[in-house]
Structure 1
């Protein structure tokens, strides 16, 4: 177990890592005030219980990682009072309930939050997204990610932070500290989050990674995602999203990983921009989706007949005239001249023929 005296360390200690051991039990509840801790890493142990609220004494804390443990707790919204906190990873625990963010807990410096592989069950609302408002760039400044390297099946290096792909989607691994100043990411994957994705999420325009996969999202993909101009990873797979893939996503010029497989999407895949560079693995499992990436090609809709096969031929629908008004206008010029000429030449014969019939 972690000794209870852990919180009585020297006030000069800045980096505390106990990751990758066989520690069990609770994290001690005592942390001295005015400590100098910037980095706390308890990941990959067998710790359980709740996160100690005494962590709010770590006013200089930038990084907190407790992933791969057995913590059973609600969303620790009180961490939002820490003025320097940039990274929170709760991945692969037993956190549960709603994600909430009271007004005074605003996460003012948050850059990365990883809540994946837990039991959070909540509707994603604009109020929750406001917890992450530090991810909004107020001006047109673009972040510099020239050091990003990708391979076919793995995103290898993003400022010492790495990503790998699995059957649960994109997995984010933290291998160093420089990404604290560059990477901006939200990972809510593998929970029980439901409802529609709010349009307001498109305002988080500094996002580089957005992973909402393996949840219970319904509704359509927000067209506001086209405003996420820095986005490089977007994973919406394993949900119940419907409707078309928005044309606005073609404006994401930095997008290097895109996944919507196994939803209920329909219609054509936009052919322009980065979306045309992804293969069928990104789109499979959507039976009504079509495009050059899939075996199912998009077919032109057949034109309606010029006349109804039966019934009153004088009651054509309004849509018929909307579709063919251009054709009518084009034929009008030449048809009018020919019709006047032929009508003048054969008018008497046509009149006699009609008298015989009727």
Structure 2
């Protein structure tokens, strides 16, 4: 292992005479020029070929042998160009391929679907394009894949569901699947890859136990996010940001109980944030910003820890931690005030009518009894009983009066 040294210049062709070397690590130096084509011929004996973090340019060697025994190839962080060589299909024992941060172009390497032990596929920050969803001849593609990073390319179309449905490791991570035998442990220990975790670019110096990641960010994917992605119950990191996804956030994401980071930012997704997502108790990073989401932000469990930057530029969202209040928060108070006002108006009218009738009846009865008996007031007696009735009533009172009262 000669990594992290101050070598410069180019690799001599004589290095290809090392026909019995199994582990070739020459990463993070200042080597330039092209990778010698003879490395392809060395693939009969090599298990690990790591040349990452240099300044190699030109094409990837195209002479990988039919007896290729390579288990890990890492060319990340160079200036390599061209397409992936067809002869790389001979390396069906690969467990890891990392060619991220180069200038490789072409379509997605479908021929790698049948690699039975492939665990890590990193194509990030290249110039790949095309659709990933055409029909496939492989019944169970990528059965052991646990890291798929194709971010920073120009892939189009919908999310390839046929892959999602066959990521067995992400669907059901078990100790046997991840750890395996001692040879596989050696692969995990020697692996080195650069990925984006929780919004930060990080260098992983080994494949951690149970580590699972899907990063489709910064492409041109469109359509809706398939509900089947919720079947990946052992997925830890999911990044679908900076694409053209539309539709609602699938509530099935709540089934990914191990999810630690979810980034759906910079898309065109709409609808509400599913309340089911509050059940993701391991979620420590959430980014739903720059979409068209609406409704109230859930605030239970882990969601109570997320700040404003998780939701910015969703102008239809409201509630804590946003400054925009939801209409639902003030509606009960307004309704109560309206009810009180209606009750006051209705109650006042009803009570007034009852009281008016009651009082009116009492007064009416009193007056009704007084008028015939006393013949007063005169105008009312004459109105109801006539003038003659009033005169007769007056004569009766005079005849009953005492002499003294008459003189008066």
TM-score band, normalised by the shorter chain?
A: 0.7 to 0.9
Give the match's secondary structure for 1:116. Answer: coil
Question: How many Å separate the matches in 1 of 2:46 and 2:331?
Answer: 72
Any conservation in 2 of the 1:212–1:236 contact (CA below 8 Å)?
A: yes
RCO higher in structure (CA 8 A, sep ≥6)? 1
TM-score norm. by structure 1 comes to 0.75
Cα deviation per residue 1:219-265 (whole Å; 9 max; x = unaligned)? Answer: 11000010000100100011111111100110101001100111111
TM-score norm. by structure 2 comes to 0.66
Any conservation in 2 of the 1:216–1:239 contact (CA below 8 Å)?
A: yes
Any conservation in 2 of the 1:24–1:46 contact (CA below 8 Å)?
A: yes
Cα deviation per residue 1:74-110 (whole Å; 9 max; x = unaligned)? Answer: 0111111111100001001110010136141601100
Q: Which residue of 2 aligns with 1:6?
A: 39
- Give the CA deviation at 1:286: 0.7
Aligned residues between the structures: 302
1:108 aligns with 2:163: no
- Give the CA deviation at 1:277: 0.3
Q: Which residue of 2 aligns with 1:80?
A: 113
Which deviates more, 274-283 or 289-298? 289-298
1:90 aligns with 2:123: yes
Q: 1:259 to 1:78 in 2, by over 3 A?
A: same
Give the match's secondary structure for 1:84. Answer: coil
- Give the CA deviation at 1:12: 3.5
Any conservation in 2 of the 1:120–1:191 contact (CA below 8 Å)?
A: yes
Question: How many Å separate the matches in 1 of 2:172 and 2:245?
Answer: 26
1:175 aligns with 2:204: yes
- Give the CA deviation at 1:11: 3.4
Q: Which residue of 1 aligns with 2:321?
A: 293
1:67 aligns with 2:100: yes
1:137 aligns with 2:166: no
* Structure 2, unaligned runs of 5 or more: 1-33, 180-190, 365-408
In terms of fraction of residues, the more helix-rich structure is 2
Any conservation in 2 of the 1:83–1:108 contact (CA below 8 Å)?
A: yes
Given the alignment, which residue of 224, 235, 239 partners 2:267? 239
Q: 1:111 to 1:282 in 2, by over 3 A?
A: same
Question: How many Å separate the matches in 2 of 1:285 and 1:13?
Answer: 51
Cα deviation per residue 1:95-133 (whole Å; 9 max; x = unaligned)? Answer: 001013614160110000001000001122533423534
RMSD: 3.4
- Give the CA deviation at 1:196: 0.8
Q: 1:182 to 1:117 in 2, by over 3 A?
A: same
